[in-house]
């Protein structure tokens, strides 16, 4: 069974400090949503409010339409039917794997036979069947995290909250666990909020990502929307790499807009309404830029072409990063390509990219 979760106009003040400014988040039944943002943006505060570990200053939280939190208080955590997994595993070391997972079921007074079958079923779900009698201290970090996931899922909660569950694992295991957690969540079909600093985790695991900064959801959308159509400079710069260039919207012809990005350099992009004559920013992902030696390629139609000189080359195995300056301007570019044929620093190059590779963003607030 899965439930809809709604956060309506949530505000959380600590004294005069507003940790959450007005959070609106509707999570559909069975949906996996990530809260992604830098340290201090309000991710943990949001998840704590949903869990009932704290109450909002204003606004309301509903599960399956039922009010569980409002400014006046709310249901205690144990009455919310929520499972939670933390970064620190929080597995009890003096208990066996079975007893760890059985604990919430015993606390809920479930009959012994039901506990037995539920624990075995959930351990099989997380790939730990056969580990029942193992002491929790004899497990690897990844196995401990599976135990805490099984413990959260065993009572069949309505909502699953995952607070940076992969942060303590090494890089290789983090990647494996990403796919496993997502596969388990989909098998169970449980509505899930996942808190993370990691854009890779958020993009690879989620149905939708909510990018937060300064107690505000800056943008919410599918991973593709967030990556390819960021709404502002913060989202563009926080999720993936981006060239973000100050620009002046010069003129519009048909469905194309011309942007001046430096004296004597302009580029075309897809038309954005109401921008003529206005200052804005142009965002181009480094992997959208093709770097060719010399000045062979002229701009034409939908193809942008900008001259530059390679300032620095950084070889990263599967990709090479070029840091490129445009002579006579302050512009520096980053382009990322397949490293089949490396170009040396000092090489004069032409950067080409399509009109549809340019995203127009509003100026950042001062």
Distance between CA atoms of residues 227 and 357, nearest Å: 12
For 4, phi and psi rounded to 5 degrees? -85, 140
Binding of residue 39 to ligand ATP (CB under 6 A): yes
- State which of positions 180-219 bind ligand ATP (CB under 6 A): 197
C-alpha distances out from residue 255 to 8, 142, 251, 265, Å: 38, 52, 11, 20
Residue of 97, 159, 165 lying closest to 127 (CA atoms): 97
Q: Positive or negative CA dihedral for 353, 354, 357, 360?
A: positive
| Residue the block writes with tokens 């080359």 | 313
Q: How far is the CB of 7 from ligand ATP (least distance, A)?
A: 14
In the bound state, the residue with its beta carbon closest to ligand ATP is 44
Confirm or reject binding of residue 159 to ligand ATP (CB under 6 A).
Answer: no
Binding of ligand ATP at residue 41 (CB under 6 A)? Answer: yes
- Binding segment toward ligand ATP, per CB under 6 A, in 11-19, 235-243, 256-264, 325-333: 11-19
Instruction: Find the binder of ligand ATP among 19, 50, 235, 280 (CB under 6 A).
Output: 19
d(CA 29, CA 160): 11
Tokens 């413990």 map to which residue?
151
Contact between 336 and ligand ATP by CB under 6 A: the answer reads no
3-state secondary structure of 101: helix
Q: Which residues pair with 292 in a beta bridge?
A: 350
Is position 53 an interface residue for ligand ATP (rule: CB under 6 A)? no
- Evaluate whether 22 touches 9 at the Cβ level (below 8 Å): yes
Q: Which is nearer to ligand ATP, 37 or 104 (CB)?
A: 37
Q: Which of 5, 25, 31, 42 binds ligand ATP (CB under 6 A)?
A: 42
When asked if residue 334 is in the footprint of ligand ATP (CB under 6 A), the reply is: no
Q: Which is nearer to ligand ATP, 14 or 179 (CB)?
A: 14
Instruction: Give me the residues paired with residue 39 across strands.
Output: none
Q: Which one of 36-44, 58-66, 145-153, 323-331 is the stretch in contact with ligand ATP (CB under 6 A)?
A: 36-44
- Under the criterion CB under 6 A, does residue 37 sit at the interface with ligand ATP? yes
Residue 347, CA distances (Å) to 131, 310, 312, 337 in order: 59, 5, 10, 16
Given 7, 34, 36, 45, the residue binding ligand ATP (CB under 6 A): 45
The 3-state DSSP class for residue 181 equals: helix
43 binds ligand ATP (CB under 6 A): yes
Residues in binding contact with ligand ATP, number by CB under 6 A: 12
Residue 284, Cβ neighbours under 10 Å: how many?
26
- Work out how close the CB of 205 gets to ligand ATP at its nearest, in angstroms, rounded to a whole number: 17
Can you give the length of the chain in residues?
366
Nearer to ligand ATP, 131 or 194 (CB): 194
Stretch that binds ligand ATP, among 42-50, 168-176, 275-283, 338-346 (CB under 6 A): 42-50
Applying CB under 6 A, which of residues 14, 78, 79, 293 lies at the interface with ligand ATP?
A: 14
CA distance 58 to 18: 11
Task: For residue 315, state whether it binds ligand ATP (rule: CB under 6 A).
Answer: no
Binding residues for ligand ATP (CB under 6 A)? 14, 17, 19, 37, 39-45, 197
């Amino acid at each position: 069974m899965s439930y809809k979760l709604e956060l309506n106009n949530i505000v959380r003040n600590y004294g005069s400090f507003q940790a959450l400014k007005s959070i609106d988040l509707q999570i559909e039944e069975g949906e996996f949503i990530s809260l992604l943002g830098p340290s201090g943006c309000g991710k943990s505060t949001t998840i704590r409010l949903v869990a009932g570990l704290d109450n909002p200053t204003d606004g309301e939280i509903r599960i399956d339409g039922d009010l569980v939190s409002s400014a006046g208080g709310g249901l205690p955590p144990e009455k919310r039917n929520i499972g939670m997994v933390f970064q620190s595993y929080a597995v009890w070391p003096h208990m066996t794997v079975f007893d760890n997972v059985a604990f919430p079921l015993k606390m809920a007074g479930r009959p012994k036979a039901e506990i037995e079958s539920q624990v075995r079923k959930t351990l099989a779900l997380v790939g730990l069947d056969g580990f029942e009698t193992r002491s929790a201290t004899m497990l690897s970090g990844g196995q401990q995290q599976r135990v805490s996931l099984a413990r959260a899922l065993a009572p069949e909660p309505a909502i699953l909250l995952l607070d940076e569950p992969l942060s303590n694992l090494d890089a290789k295991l983090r990647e494996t666990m990403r796919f496993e957690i997502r596969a388990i969540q989909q098998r169970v079909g449980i509505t899930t909020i996942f808190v993370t600093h990691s854009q890779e985790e958020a993009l690879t695991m989620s149905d939708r990502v909510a990018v937060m900064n300064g107690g505000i959801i800056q943008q919410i959308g599918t991973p593709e929307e967030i990556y390819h159509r960021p709404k502002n400079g913060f989202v563009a710069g926080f999720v993936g790499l981006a060239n973000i260039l100050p620009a002046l919207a010069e003129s519009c012809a048909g469905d194309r807009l011309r942007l001046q990005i430096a004296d004597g350099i302009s580029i075309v992009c897809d038309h954005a309404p109401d921008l003529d004559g206005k200052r804005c920013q142009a965002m181009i992902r480094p992997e959208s830029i093709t770097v060719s030696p010399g000045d062979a390629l002229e701009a034409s139609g939908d193809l942008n072409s900008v001259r530059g000189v390679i300032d620095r080359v950084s070889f990263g195995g599967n990709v090479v990063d070029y840091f490129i300056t445009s002579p006579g301007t302050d512009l520096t570019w980053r382009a990322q390509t397949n490293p089949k044929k490396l170009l040396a620093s000092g090489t004069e190059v032409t950067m080409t990219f399509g009109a549809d590779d340019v995203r127009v963003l509003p100026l950042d607030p001062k």
